[in-house]
Amino acid sequence: MSVSTSNAYGKISISDLAIAKVASQAAVECYGIVDTVARRFSETLAELLKRDAGGKGVKVVTSGNRIFIDITVLIKYGVSIEAVAESLKEAIKYKVEHFTGMIVDTVNVNVAGLQL
């Protein structure tokens, strides 16, 4: 699926994969985040078979011009999980809204584990 908008110059359509890549990049840039990870083994296997695994661990659902994002991450050991998760939510919301011009309704952060 994708989100679409239109203006005086025409229609703009942004794929869910493009949004997932932006969210994944925003996550990796956040302090305390080690990496994004797939939630299921089947997702991991599918990523291994793809050439471009951008957006791994990110699920994007769009409804109209609203965006819902679920992200699964590894967090660095010793940092506050709550503080990192809140910072991650704000960073993803800001970057995706700035990139798409659409409204990010929710960002759900799933912590898969900690890494030393």
Q: Is residue 26 part of a domain?
A: yes
Beta-strand ranges (E) seen in 77-116 are 103-115
pTM: 0.82
Q: How far apart are alpha carbons 113 and 47 in whole angstroms?
A: 19
Quote the domain boundaries for residue 16: 12-115
Say which amino acid occupies 83.
A
Alpha-carbon gap, residue 59 to 23, rounded angstroms: 10
Torsion 41-39-23-6 (CA) sign: positive
Confirm whether 3 is domain-assigned. no
**What's the pLDDT tens digit per position in 71-97?**
999 999 999 999 999 999 999 999 999
* DSSP 8-state class, residue 11: E
**Is residue 18 situated within a structural domain?**
yes
Amino acid at 99: F
Digit-coded pLDDT (tens) for 8-58: 888 888 888 999 999 999 999 999 999 999 875 555 545 555 655 567 889
> Could you give the number of structural domains in the chain?
1
